[in-house]
Amino acid sequence: MKARNLERKSAITGVGQSAVGRRLNIDPLALTADACLEAIEDAGLTRDDIDGLSTYPGNMQAPAGFTGAGVTEVQEMLRLNLNWFCGGPELPGQLGAVINACAAVATGLARHVLCFRTVWESTAQGGGPRAGLGAGGGGGFRASGIMEWTLPFGAASAAVWIAMMARRHFHEFGTTREQMAQIALNSRKNAGLNPNAVYRDPMTMDDYFAARMISDPFCLYDCDAPVDGSTAIIVSATDAARDCRKTPLRVEAVGSALRGRPSWDQFDDLTTMALRDAGAMLWERTDLRPSDVHVAELYDGFSFITMCWLEALGFCAKGESGRFIEDGKAIALDGEIALNTHGGQLSAGRLHGFGFLHEAAVQLWHEGGARQVPVEPSVAVAAAGGGPLGGCLLLVRDD
């Protein structure tokens, strides 16, 4: 029996999501309220039951629309009585905020933690092309921190940094754009069954190859779609979860490791990123195996990141993700591992990590409607992050 004290004491008990769309022009705090109140109701709780609050990244200096609400704003808006709260960007990916919540309920610091993530990048960026980091800085701008080593070279987006990781993977393992396209095609097919997805029209391989190049080998369809929207997740202590309305989704294991250098270019193996470490840690903490998982909701800020997660979580061998996905069958809704069943960020919209955990819960509660995975899944993994930041959770429905 593996050590899993933290995980055995925490469960997902409710989820919520605001309207999601392009240029909604809605106050991001209002979107946040919609998601949070829906999640609280979904769990069968009231706001008086919430004693913990957690978010990524919260209030910080950030590109336009990257963060729509912080911890203190939400506490003020919902007048929560908190015993524990936490928000910040220095976490193992976006879902690090949820892993923190698991630790809080497992150690008794809180009983029901409301976790949320709000973006309004579509409205904030208007109709223009996606801007680079630092692009609005003006003549006096000087790059510092990790940006010092990338911005002077026009490497002004994670698209550029991760394109280089994909290129290295292509070089070492013979991966191709035709294979990588399956991530985008699979997501679009699933989005067609999801009424809340922002891009639902069918996409063909020809459409993919006709799209304009962003940063070779990434074309437009390898990059996620900025949207406005908020997602909320309730994490409850397992003893407190008995008070909730739905079957608790037990957190069987988490991965939060970073064992290489925290850098986009100095990390030892650019073809794995830190996802390797988070994935390895997750399986170190459970007796379940990758073959036990029915549903995988794996971050796709860029299509290649999903391939890295497939390898990091052991759904295929290192270097084999291209061959694993190349005919699309293994990752389809009725495949051996149903992947990004809502359409991912590529087609359902860039809810920045939390959308994957939301969808994992929807699938485990068999609420997926037309996109529901037919095997009535009981084990799902949700993972978010890329580059030097990644975190993942394995969820189990016991009944």
| Interacting residues toward other proteins by CB under 8 A | 129-135, 137, 141-144, 148-157, 159-161, 163-165, 167-168, 171, 212-218, 263-266, 268, 270
Output 137 or 369, the one with its CB closest to other proteins: 137
326 C-beta neighbours (distance < 10 Å), count: 16
Output 307 or 338, the one with its CB closest to other proteins: 307
43 C-beta neighbours (distance < 10 Å), count: 27
In the complex, least distance from residue 363 CB atom to other proteins, rounded to whole angstroms: 34
In the complex, least distance from residue 139 CB atom to other proteins, rounded to whole angstroms: 10
Output 37 or 211, the one with its CB closest to other proteins: 211
Paired sense of beta strands 84-87 and 112-120, if any: unpaired
45 C-beta neighbours (distance < 10 Å), count: 22
Output 269 or 367, the one with its CB closest to other proteins: 269
Output 136 or 195, the one with its CB closest to other proteins: 136
Output 153 or 289, the one with its CB closest to other proteins: 153
Measured CA to CA, the distance from residue 320 to residue 327 in angstroms comes to 13
Measured CA to CA, the distance from residue 115 to residue 86 in angstroms comes to 10
Output 159 or 337, the one with its CB closest to other proteins: 159
**302-322 burial, b for 16+ CB within 10 Å, e for fewer?**
bbbbbbbbbbbbbbbeeeebb
Closest to 233 in 3D by CA, of 318, 357, 392: 357
Q: What are phi and psi of 245, to 5 degrees?
A: -75, -35
Measured CA to CA, the distance from residue 74 to residue 287 in angstroms comes to 38
Measured CA to CA, the distance from residue 233 to residue 244 in angstroms comes to 13
Output 245 or 261, the one with its CB closest to other proteins: 261
In the complex, least distance from residue 264 CB atom to other proteins, rounded to whole angstroms: 8
Q: Which two tokens stand for residue 293?
A: 């998982």
Residue 284 to residues 36, 73, 174, Cα–Cα distance (Å): 32, 37, 30
Q: What are phi and psi of 284, to 5 degrees?
A: -70, -15
DSSP calls for 49-113: G--EEEESS-S-S-STTS----HHHHHHHHT---SEEEE-S-SSSTTHHHHHHHHHHHTTS-SEE
In the complex, least distance from residue 177 CB atom to other proteins, rounded to whole angstroms: 13
Q: Which two tokens stand for residue 231?
A: 């997602």
Output 160 or 362, the one with its CB closest to other proteins: 160
In the complex, least distance from residue 287 CB atom to other proteins, rounded to whole angstroms: 35
In the complex, least distance from residue 321 CB atom to other proteins, rounded to whole angstroms: 17
In the complex, least distance from residue 274 CB atom to other proteins, rounded to whole angstroms: 16
In the complex, least distance from residue 128 CB atom to other proteins, rounded to whole angstroms: 10
In the complex, least distance from residue 275 CB atom to other proteins, rounded to whole angstroms: 17
Output 175 or 194, the one with its CB closest to other proteins: 175
Measured CA to CA, the distance from residue 320 to residue 325 in angstroms comes to 9
What distance lies between CA 9 and its chain's CA centroid? 23
Residue 296 pairs with which residues in a beta bridge? 339, 381
Output 47 or 168, the one with its CB closest to other proteins: 168
CA atoms within 13 A on the CB side of 322: 16
In the complex, least distance from residue 211 CB atom to other proteins, rounded to whole angstroms: 11
In the complex, least distance from residue 319 CB atom to other proteins, rounded to whole angstroms: 15
